[in-house]
Amino acid sequence: MEITTQQRNELINRALEARRFAYAPYSGYTVGAALLSISGEIYHGVNIENAAYPTSMCAERTAVFKAVSNGELAFSAIAIATENGGSPCGACRQVLSEFGLETLVLVVDNQGEVTLETTVGNLLPEAFSPSDLTRG
């Protein structure tokens, strides 16, 4: 999806800002995300760790779940900020794919430098989708 330079810069800045609120006492690897809905709203997410590691939540999914709980189901872009520009995990890729394979993905490091610019579809080729489910 196409977004303006202003939207791009705002998403990156908001992801970097959100990262400050991540709760990562175990790994120390903080992540912030800013998700732009088709309506123009931006939803933030941070990673939230837990001593029982499997119950932790990634920033990308936190942002998606916040957006969906507010009635948003279509997204233009997501910016993800990490210290080193780390790419989204498989679970986040799958959740993002549910809402649009053409969603722009911007991954930035702690300086706001883009380390990866792609789409959800490129991050998750052959994504499992609703069309893969058969109805009886």
Contacts (Cβ under 8 Å, ≥6 apart) of 97:
120, 121, 124, 127, 128, 129
* Contact predicate 117/103, CB 8 Å: no
State which amino acid sits at residue 29: Y
Could you give the residue numbers annotated as active site?
Answer: 60
